[in-house]
Amino acid sequence: MSMQLKNLPFDAEAITNFTKNRNEPKWFSEIRLKGLALAEELPLPTPEKTRIADWNFTKFNVQTESDAVDQLSDLPEEISTLMGKGDQVGNVLIHVNNSAVFDHLSQNLKDQGVIYTDLATAVREHSDLLANYYFKTTSIDKHQLTALNAALVNGGTFLYVPKNVVVSEPIQAVYYQDAPEAGLIAHTLVVAEESSSVTFVESYLSDAAAGTSVANIVNEVVVGANAQVKYGAVDEFSDQFVTYVSRQANVAKDGRIQWALGQMNDGNTLSENATNLEGDGAEADIKAVSIGSGSQKQNFDNYVRHVGKATKSQLLVRAAQKDASNSIFNARTKIEHGASGADGEQTQRVLMLSDQARGDANPILLIDEYDVVAGHAASVGRVDPDQLYYLMSRGIKQETAEKLIVEGFLAPVVDLLPIEGVQKQLTKLIERKVG
């Protein structure tokens, strides 16, 4: 691993300075240093059937700065189109090149104790609260990339919803990168305490100017007892961007999480999505769509672990593979001993739109309990010729018909995104990538 080491942009001294400059508390600096030590030791993850050894996860500038803006109109248009105009601007946090540049949270939510801020601020102002959750849902020592995230984190978001608080309007985060050769090392925490409810949507975008940048994103979601979290995401990094994104949730008794993930990066992507159904009666609904294009390589691992009794999960992955893209889709449902009455269903469908493209869907069920229901379906196929014939028989040209079919195929996730601007972002992205 020494080769990887040489590439690390930071050493212990640099990290100590970095954390000091940012006025971070001791516990946080310690995690950084622990992360650095682990990053030196631990290997890269080994995703099935995707070789990532030559992907650039470590060469980037960790420090880029952006100035805060007073109004949304000062932001790049790519960002402002994601949001409502004027009074319609909701609860939003905007990050440009790792730094939070704009934030808004309604007074009403503040009064109810909701905290919504960037990670750097949360580390300083809500240190004790944050420490309860930071790297608790997922571990630092999973592999080199999680350790790197701990060591170098320079962005991210903290959303905290207290007990019994029901947030009806969606909470939005937008990350925009245009600094060249930058690294967005982001860590987001969404905490929904007992019997609370919240909808969170994040969008990641970059300008081509970002060039060979790196994203290392670790997001943790804590769903308390009887709480409900809807989590939407649209990833849209440009083609030279290498992305590691890990979204992890832990769900307590009778809690529920709904994931709606639009995984539309143009560059190489390693994605880990995992939900731990810890408490009895916990539920997860996971929907993810992606389009592979160009020569990008992607690996998507979607994992649900049933621990509590009568836990329920539904996983739906839909993907289209174009050009010479290569994607691996793993769906893993694990039902632990004692999780009686668990019900885990998974479906993965991959639509191949080119002879040069490759797509593998691997369904994996691991069951250690008798009294459960589990099912899986996985298919890799081409556009259904009967559907195509049907649409064309109404006078629709073949190209347009194929586009309609593919867009329709990916629609289930678009429909779930709760913010119109983000829905449009994903629809437009799908149209662009399919077109």
Interface residues toward another protein, by CB under 8 A: 384-387, 389-398, 400-401, 404-405, 407-412
The least CB distance from residue 110 to another protein, in Å, is: 38
Residue 345 CB, nearest approach to another protein (Å): 18
Smallest distance from another protein to CB 288, Å:
15
**Using CA atoms, how far apart are residues 319 and 264, in angstroms rounded to an integer?**
10
Work out whether the CA dihedral 132, 137, 138, 141 comes out positive or negative: positive
Closest approach, Cβ 112 to another protein, in A, equals 35
Q: Where are the alpha helices (DSSP H) in 25-81?
A: 26-41, 77-80
Nearer to another protein, 318 or 322 (CB): 318
Task: Name the minimum Å distance from CB 271 to another protein.
Answer: 22
Tokens of 339: 């999780």
Pick between residue 130 and residue 316 the one whose CB is nearest to another protein.
Answer: 316
Nearest to 428 by CA among 236, 171, 202: 236
Q: Which of 66, 58, 63, 61 is nearest to 19 (CA)?
A: 63
| Nearest distance from C-beta of residue 9 to another protein, angstroms | 43
Q: Which is nearer to another protein, 82 or 316 (CB)?
A: 316
CA–CA–CA angle 124, 130, 135 (5° rounding): 120
Q: How many CB atoms lie within 10 A of CB 208?
A: 11
Residue closer to another protein (CB basis): 36 or 320: 320
| 285 class by beta-carbon count within 10 Å (0-12 exposed, 13-18 middle, 19+ buried) | middle
Specify the amino acid at residue 129. Answer: L
- Asked whether the beta carbons of 249 and 307 are under 8 A apart, the reply is no
Choose between 37 and 383: whose C-beta lies nearer to another protein.
Answer: 383
Q: Which is nearer to another protein, 139 or 398 (by Cβ)?
A: 398
Which CB, 86 or 395, lies closer to another protein?
395
Min CB(406)–another protein separation in Å: 9
Smallest CA-to-CA distance from 23 within 125, 150, 160, 158 is with: 125
Q: What gap in Å lies between CA 197 and CA 223, rounded to an integer?
A: 9
Minimum distance from residue 378 beta carbon to another protein (Å): 17
Nearer to another protein, 27 or 389 (CB): 389
CA nearest 204: which of 240, 175, 173? 175
216 touches 57 (CB < 8 A):
yes
